[in-house]
Structure 1
Amino acid sequence: MLILLTALSLLAPQERHPAPASPPAGTPVIVREAEVMVRQPPPHNGEGMSTAFRISDAAPNRSMEFRKRVLHPGATIGLHPIAHDEVYYVLSGAGELTADGVVTSMSTGDAAYLYDGNVVGIRQTGEADLVLIIAYPLAARTP
């Protein structure tokens, strides 16, 4: 019986959790998006209006940015070079991503992995808001 259990345990997928590289950098923080919501023009000389949820701003000593941005009809995040890898993930709506001069349509469930040095921007298209998650690393931890 012991041999059978051992054999079965070898076949079963194992959850492996690597040891952390260092002690935790802080205590976990819960952020309620309603508390970090602000209506503002889009960044990088964008056009139109947006609603920003600067979620990671509430986390001290962080090493990444994690934001939700709603681009309202006709709004854009202006073209800008990025100095880090960055991900745009579309929660809902439709838009056109420009990356290094190439325009690509994006819609719900699409993700764009953008690289350090790309010049990027995005435009809301269609009738519904374009709702994005934007995430990227910081050069250093925040205070």
Structure 2
Amino acid sequence: MITLVLAGLIAGAAPQQSQGSPAGVGVVIREADVMVRQVPPHNGTGMSTAYRISDVAPNRAMEFRKRIMHPGASIGLHVINHDEVYHVVSGEGDVTSDGVTTRMKAGDTAYLYDGGNVGIRQVGEEDLVLIIAYPLASRTD
């Protein structure tokens, strides 16, 4: 089981905080508590298991998710309004950014830019396990 610490204070160190950022020791989120099976977003195909990790973090400034794309699944092409990262934990997938498609495998990371038309498709027999992260336009309540 993955345990993720989103934020924390180091004992004895003064925290560096930006205007409006939360104070405190952070939040620990257990992926089993945020798992949902769903069709992938953006008119995607097939089925996926999503771990909507950051959804339960109050006052957050980013999205951080794990998504397992089962065989045949895809996140449909969509234009992003922020930089976004897809990191492959296991399996293989074809990531597309502005019409260029590149095969990715475990250990590969796609850094996708604001304004790009992007998507990803699982290939092969093994599930494609991704970590997806991107900033929010503004901090949540």
| Aligned ranges 1:70-85 → 2 under 5 Å | 70-85=68-83
- Work out whether residues 26 and 61 of structure 1, in 8 Å CA contact, stay in contact via their aligned partners in 2: no
Matching residue of 1:4? none
User: What 5-or-longer segments of structure 1 have no aligned partner?
Assistant: 1-16
**Matched AA of 2:89:** L
Residue 54 (structure 1) aligns with: 52
Distance 1:59 1:26 in 2: 13
Question: What amino acid is the match of 1:22?
Answer: S
Paired residues of 1:70 and 1:131 also in contact (CA < 8 A): yes
In structure 2, the partner of 1:39 is 37
Q: Which structure's residues are more often helix, by fraction? A: 1
Specify the structure having the higher radius of gyration (Cα): 1
Offset of residue 58 of structure 1: 1.1
Aligned partners of 2:14 and 2:74: how far apart in 1? 40
SS of residue matched to 1:70:
strand
Residue of 16, 21, 24 corresponding to 1:20: 16
Structure 2 partner of 1:101: 99
Identity among equivalent pairs (%): 68
Alpha-carbon distance in structure 2 between the residues aligned to 1:114 and 1:20: 28
> Residue by residue, what CA displacement relative to the aligned partner does 1:27-80 show, whole Å, maximum 9, x if unpaired?
300000000000000000000000000000110000000000000000000000
- Measure the CA separation in 1 of the matches of 2:18 and 2:101: 41
Once superposed, which parts of structure 1, at least 4 consecutive aligned residues long, lie more than 6 Å away? none
Q: How far apart are the structure 1 equivalents of 2:33 and 2:15?
A: 33
Give the whole-Å Cα distance in 1 for the aligned partners of 2:83 and 2:14.
24
Q: Any idea what SS the aligned residue of 1:31 has?
A: strand
CA drift of 1:18 comes to: 9.1
What TM-score comes out, normalization by structure 2 length?
0.86
In 2, Cα distance between equivalents of 1:22 and 1:39: 35
Question: Take 2:38 and 2:139, find their aligned partners in 1: how far apart are those partners?
Answer: 26
Q: Which runs of 5+ in 2 are unaligned?
A: 1-12
- The alpha-carbon deviation at position 22 of structure 1 amounts to 3.5
Aligned to 2:119: 121
